[in-house]
A and B are shown apart, each in its own frame.
Chain A
Amino acid sequence: MGNKQTIFTDEQLDAYQDCTFFTRKEILRLHGRYHELAPHLVPMDYTNEPECKIPLALIVDMPELKENPFRNRIVESFSEDGAGNLSFNEFVDMFSVLSETAPRELKAIYAFKIYDFNVDNYLCKEDLEKTLNKLTKEELTSEEVELVCEKTIDEADLDGDNKLSYSDFENMITRAPDFLSTFHIRI
């Protein structure tokens, strides 16, 4: 509105504002961050929607993601090719879902995706074991790991198929009001 910028057209910015939870300024700032990750790859002019993707290795190097145990899964869940290469749209999408204003249901869907390591639509025991190992740096013994995963499935599995479907997961999320504030990355 005030300052003239040449990175996006007004229609593009309107589309971003309508489809994500970010305002105009934040989108421009996000573009700045995206550009800094790979200045030679990312054009400054997005008006003709260039096809450019930043590889996974550069994105997980961001200070907001660097120390997160799930950084690879987070980036993979938002990438179209499943390998973690993000275009700017996917980058914005990722931080939009992880922002403060995203509703719980949307966050729950993506949290489920992140924890689903083998992408089979269920949190089976292997997924839970991998999650636990990432969270405790593999310092628990394997019996303890198994015990914890079994207890988790016992507690959360409602339909008795020995793995957690999305509805089991969501049921658990509704009983954890902190989820909205913990599943949140500030950028």
Chain B
Amino acid sequence: MTSSSSGGVFNPAYHDSETLEVDRRDKRSWTHHTNPYAGEDPAWWAERDDAEPGASSGGWRGGESFSMGLFSTSSGTNSWQHDANPHTPDSSSHYRSAAGLPSLMTGGMTMRWRGMAMRGMSMFPNADPTHAALAEDAIRSEVENEEQNLIKELIALSAGEQTRKIQELPQSFGEKKNIRRQVMAFKSSTNSHHFLCCTDCCRNMSLSFRRCGNGIKSARQTLKLWRGIMKEIGGRFGSSVLTYFLFLKWLLMFNIFSFLVNFGFITIPLLVHDLSANIPSNVSFRGLELLTGAGYFNYTVMYYGGYSNETLHGLVDYNMQLAYFFTIAVYMVLCGIVLIFSMASSFKKNYVLSDPASSRAWQLLCSWDFSLTNERAVRQRKNNLRVQLKESLSERAEKESITLSKELKQVGIHVGSWFLSTCLAVGCGASIFYLCQYGEEQAMDTAPWSLLQEAETLLVPFVVSLMNIVIPLFFSLFNKFERYSTHRRQIYALLIRNVLLRMSILGVLCYHWMNVVPQKYSCWEPMVGQALYRLVIIDFLFLMLGSFFGEFLSNVIGTKLQPRLGVPEFDVARNVLELVYAQTLAWIGIYFSPLLPAIQMLKFFILFYIKKVSLTRNCQPPRRSGRAAQMQTIFIFLLFFPFFVGALSIVAYTAWSLTPSEQCGPFQGLNNTFSVVSIWIHDLEAIPTSDWVVWIYQNVIRSELFYFLLTLIIIAIIYIFWQLTQGRKELINLLRQRIINVSLF
């Protein structure tokens, strides 16, 4: 609980703030030293100390004691408040008068200590030199005292925690180095009392371990793709546009990992074992395969059908069935875990209780993007800020009175738009359904297919991508007519509609693949794999076209034809949704086509450069700043919740319930894919040393009781955490109220 995430407790400035009433009686010395903005000074602390003789010695580590200290502090309030106000006006005036003291300028005291000392001086406006020297000595000794306390605190922590705490100290580098040196010296001296050689080599090991860790971090940095481009984009367009590119890079990593894993564990053993692909003689490579994925590719390792179900005998016995199943399963589970963790950390970092973007204070102090380095972008951002400030100033003057009829009209418009959007989404789904049916009637099971038949298979992906490009335009049109209370709600509404559209299309397609295709074809998994391949490729082509039309044409229209519209902005939400959809296709396709991640990798790689060029040539920086962090949380959540979970359920349903095809693939002849595991466990039963695996399988994985208990435990934990957050929220309100109450005196 005292990790850096609960920054409040470990933040030294938090404890030193005059406006926050905290139980600081015991630990004032620790925190006093590390806050460069210590509003108090030693002499004043001494005064306060006398006022509270009966201080309770509550520890301050951990949030709970913090609150206890709060409620027990009732006597001290008057004394320190009374001191607070007369103290502060002096400091600014005496800052300059105390500058003449020579002794403070030397002696290696840094600016920050000097600042504190100056404030100390300001308590004695008529200081004569001896008096000043005494005060200065007192301050210096106090400062050293605090440093000692800090070092003692640091020694008590583990090495990793120590490093992190030192990194987070708000002091200059020289001071941090000093503290670190003292901590290390102390540690080594204490160690020398105990078993010398043991701790010596322990220390060397931990040092080399840390060096190794740093080396790995460095190595990972050299692999950092596109660092220069990201910097340029961030410099010209700001952080919110950069989130799209960071998201793209993150998804690319998923695909690279998937490709490496699949290629390494599934494809390479097969290739090593049997280099000759068994392609029938009447099939040759025609150019169309690159688009349709059928034909020649059908018989390669690209799809499920190219893999055999034997145990390969080479250096070791390699069970292809188990390898295929476990590789895909482990990859999906890892993806899920990574997504959950990043969603949770993003949520924790970016969750905000109210929308501050409308407040003036936020606009003034928190909205400036420090990463902007391009002169024109900076100028534009300054203009935007000025316009926003002017707008918000004038907004106060005119407040629109909303009549009942107007409101009813608004509600009517909302309902109408939602109805229309849902109809559009459902309509698209239905039309794809009938199109697929038509396509199935035309297709036949036996190879070879004529060129025309293969080209016909491109119809469905073409229509799907067309819908994905055109229908969102309608949604934006509806959006223009509606009026939302906040900009955020507008973006959410648009996002939900787009998600609905894509989910309905994907849902219909998956239904078709799970129910119709297995009945029709003898070797159905490669068929599904090909369908997905086509979807991915055509989607890529349309993304490029979309970039061309969406950004290039908008730019031309906005600058030459209709200057009123202006240069377009880069629509981050729409583009991120396209990325999420593309990744979902890849996730669904992994089971049916293990090398699909390779195509996806290429696709994202090329897409990055296309989008970058389109952005730099055609778009301007966004007019409304802010909200990038929250949008990022939403994007990761979107990636996880409907899309990844959907893909995982499709793959799980396929593995659990559908019968694998009889004649091709690694699972031929089995009832369902999952039975591979049962067979393996059955084989393991014969081997006495792996009893524990069998036990785990039978009593943990296959037993319903285990899952039931696990669910109960998780629900209980969630409930406890929920209550904790409720309690913390109430505490925040209480504290805020106390601040306001205290300041009223």
Interface residues, chain A, with chain B CB atoms under 8 Å away: 1, 14-15, 17-21, 23-26, 63-64, 66-70, 78-82, 89-90, 92-93, 96, 98, 102-106, 109-113, 115, 118-123, 128, 131-132, 135-137, 139-140, 144, 147-149, 151-152, 155-156, 158-161, 165-170, 172-173, 175-186
Chain A contacts for B369, CB-based, 8 A: 182
- Give the segment of B264-272, B293-301, B372-380, B659-667 that binds chain A: B372-380
Q: Is B366 in contact with chain A by the CB < 8 A criterion?
A: yes
Docked Cα-Cα span, A148 to B367, in Å, equals 14
- 3 pairs of A and B residues whose beta carbons are closest in the complex: A167-B17, A177-B350, A160-B743
A152 and B360 contact, CB distance less than 8 A: yes
Known: A23-B221, A69-B378, A144-B390. Contact between A152 and B361, CB under 8 A? Answer: yes
User: Would B13 and A176 count as touching, CB distance under 8 A?
Assistant: no
Asked if B234 CB lies within 8 Å of chain A CBs, one says yes
Q: What is the CA–CA distance of A25 and B215 in the complex, to the nearest angstrom? A: 9
Instruction: List B residues 201-218 near A (Cβ within 8 Å).
Output: 210-211, 214-215, 217-218
Interface centre among A25, A90, A105, A131 (most CB of B within 10 A): A105
A155-B359, A166-B37 known; A67-B168 Cβ under 8 A: no
Q: B166 touches which one: A19, A105, A128, A184 (CB < 8 A)?
A: A19
**Distance, CA A140 to CA B390, complexed state (A):** 8
B48-56, B171-179, B481-489: which lies at the interface: B171-179
- Which residues of chain B have a CB within 8 Å of any CB of chain A? 4, 7, 11, 13-14, 17-20, 36-37, 39, 85, 88, 91-92, 95, 110-111, 115, 119, 163, 166-168, 170, 172-174, 176-177, 180-181, 210-211, 214-215, 217-218, 221-222, 230-231, 234-235, 239, 349-354, 356, 359-362, 364-375, 378-379, 382, 385-386, 389-390, 393, 626-630, 736, 739-740, 742-744
Chain A residues with CB under 8 Å of B234's CB are 186
Residues in A with CB closer than 8 Å to B365 are 111, 115, 123, 131, 152, 156, 169, 172
Cα A67 to Cα B612 in complex, Å, equals 22
User: B180 touches which one: A15, A123, A132 (CB < 8 A)?
Assistant: A15
Chain A residues near B88 (CB-CB < 8 A): 122, 161
- State the main secondary structure of chain B at its contact with A: helix
Nearest CB of chain A from residue B629's CB, rounded to whole Å: 4
Whether A18 and B167, one on each chain, are in contact in the complex, defined by CB atoms closer than 8 angstroms, is: yes
* A29 CA / B13 CA spacing, docked (Å): 32
CB pair B170 A110 closer than 8 Å: yes
Asked if residues A120 and B385 are in contact (CB atoms below 8 Å), the reply is no
Complex contacts, B371 vs chain A, CB 8 Å: 182, 184-186
* Chain B residues closer than 8 Å to A165, beta-carbon distance: 17-19, 39
- For A70, what are the chain B residues with a Cβ–Cβ distance below 8 Å? 368, 370
| Residue pair A148, B393 in contact (C-beta under 8 Å) | yes
Cα distance A104–B365 in the bound complex, in angstroms: 15
**Assembled-state Cα–Cα distance A177/B19 (Å):** 23
Given A120-B92, A135-B368, A177-B350, list of 17 further CB < 8 A pairs?
A14-B211, A67-B374, A103-B7, A105-B14, A122-B88, A140-B389, A148-B364, A148-B389, A149-B364, A158-B736, A161-B88, A161-B743, A166-B13, A170-B11, A178-B630, A179-B366, A183-B370
The complex places the Cα of A25 from the Cα of B360 at a distance, in Å, of 41
CA of A136 to CA of B367, assembled, Å: 13
Which A residues touch B382, using CB under 8 A?
A: 69, 135-137
Q: Which residues of B contact A159 (CB under 8 A)?
A: 18-19, 739, 742-743
In the bound complex, CA of A155 to CA of B361 (Å): 6
Q: Closest CB of chain A to B26's CB: distance in Å?
A: 20
What residues of chain B lie closer than 8 Å to A132, measured between beta carbons? 364
Max chain B Cβ within 10 angstroms of own Cβ: one of A23, A92, A119, A149 = A23
B627–A25 touching, CB < 8 Å: no
Question: Known contacts being A15-B180, A24-B215, A158-B740, is A105 close to B168, with CB within 8 Å?
Answer: yes
- Among the listed A23, A111, A119, A175, which residue makes an inter-chain contact with B353, where contact means beta carbons less than 8 Å apart? A175
CB atoms of A176 and B172 under 8 A apart:
no
CA A170 to CA B16, docked complex, whole Å: 13
Which single member of A68, A105, A121 contacts B11 (CB below 8 Å)?
Answer: A105
Least Cβ–Cβ distance between B235 and chain A, in angstroms:
8
Among A19, A68, A186, the one with the most B-chain Cβ atoms within 10 Å of its Cβ is A19
Task: Flag if A181 contacts B364 (CB, 8 Å).
Answer: no
The answer on a CB contact under 8 Å between A90 and B352 is no
Pick from A19, A123, A179: contact of B173, CB under 8 Å: A19
Residues of B within 8 A of A96 (CB): 167
B19 touches A167 (CB 8 A): yes
Q: List 26 A-B contacts (CB under 8 A).
A: A19-B173, A69-B382, A79-B111, A81-B111, A89-B173, A105-B168, A109-B13, A115-B365, A120-B91, A135-B368, A137-B382, A139-B386, A155-B360, A159-B739, A165-B19, A165-B39, A166-B39, A167-B20, A170-B13, A176-B352, A177-B630, A178-B239, A178-B626, A182-B239, A182-B368, A185-B370
Report B-chain residues with C-beta under 8 Å of the C-beta of A173: 366
Q: Are A93 and B173 in contact (CB under 8 A)?
A: yes
On whether the beta carbons of B218 and A23 are closer than 8 Å, the reply is yes
CA distance A148 to B174 in the complex (A): 39
Chain B nearest CB from A47 CB (Å) reads: 15
Closest to A115 in B: B365
- With A103-B4, A136-B385 known as contacts, the answer to whether A176 contacts B736 (CB < 8 A) is no
Please determine whether A21 and B378 come into contact, CB atoms closer than 8 angstroms: no
B231 and A186 form a contact (CB under 8 A): yes
Also in contact, A121 and B362, with CB within 8 A (given A136-B382, A167-B14): no
Judging by beta carbons under 8 Å apart, are A24 and B174 in contact?
Answer: no
Residue among A109, A111, A168 making CB contact with B36, cutoff 8 Å: A109
